[in-house]
Structure 1
Amino acid sequence: MASKSFHATIKVNTSAEEAIKKINEVNKWWAKKVKGKSEKLNDQFTVDFGTTWVDFQITELVPNKKVVWKVTDCNLGWIKNKKEWNDTAVVFEISEKKNATQIDFTHAGLIPSFECYEDCKTGWTEHVTESLVMFINDGKGMPQ
Structure 2
Amino acid sequence: MENDNFTSTFTAPCTPSEAFSFAAQPNIWWNTMISGSARHVAESFIYEVPGIHYSKSRVSESLAGRRLSWQVIPSEHRLELDEWVGTDVIFEFVELSHGTRVDFTHVGLRPQLACHSVCTTAWGHHLTVGLQALMAGAEARPVTPSSAAEVAAEVGAQKAG
Structure 2 counterpart of 1:7? 7
TM-score, L = length of structure 2: 0.81
Distance change in 2, residues 1:32/1:61 (3 Å):
same
> 1:41-62 CA deviation, whole Å, 9 max, x = no partner?
1111111111211100000111
Work out the CA distance in 1 between the residues paired with 2:47 and 2:138.
Answer: 20
Q: Which letter does structure 2 place at the counterpart of 1:107?
A: H
- SS of the aligned residue for 2:130 comes to helix
Q: Which letter does structure 2 place at the counterpart of 1:57?
A: R
Conservation of the 8 A alpha-carbon contact between 1:6 and 1:106: yes
Runs (4+) off by over 6 Å? none
RMSD: 1.9
Structure 2 counterpart of 1:108? 107
> Which residues of structure 1 form unaligned runs of 5+?
none
C-alpha displacement of 1:100: 1.5
C-alpha displacement of 1:76: 8.9
Distance change in 2, residues 1:71/1:135 (3 Å):
same
> 1:57-103 CA deviation, whole Å, 9 max, x = no partner?
000111211000000036695xxx94110000100011011211000
Structure 2 counterpart of 1:136? 135
Structure 2 counterpart of 1:46? 46
Identity of aligned residues (%): 26
Structure 2 counterpart of 1:117? 116
Which is helix-richer, 1 or 2?
2
- SS of the aligned residue for 1:115 comes to coil
Conservation of the 8 A alpha-carbon contact between 1:28 and 1:140: no
C-alpha displacement of 1:21: 0.5
Superposition pairs of residues 74-93 of structure 1, within 5 angstroms: 77=79, 82-93=81-92
How many positions carry a matched residue from both structures? 141
C-alpha displacement of 1:34: 1.1
Conservation of the 8 A alpha-carbon contact between 2:58 and 2:73: yes
Conservation of the 8 A alpha-carbon contact between 2:55 and 2:81: no
C-alpha displacement of 1:3: 3.2
Which is strand-richer, 1 or 2?
1
Structure 1 counterpart of 2:21? 21
> Which residues of structure 2 form unaligned runs of 5+?
144-161
Distance change in 2, residues 1:41/1:139 (3 Å):
farther
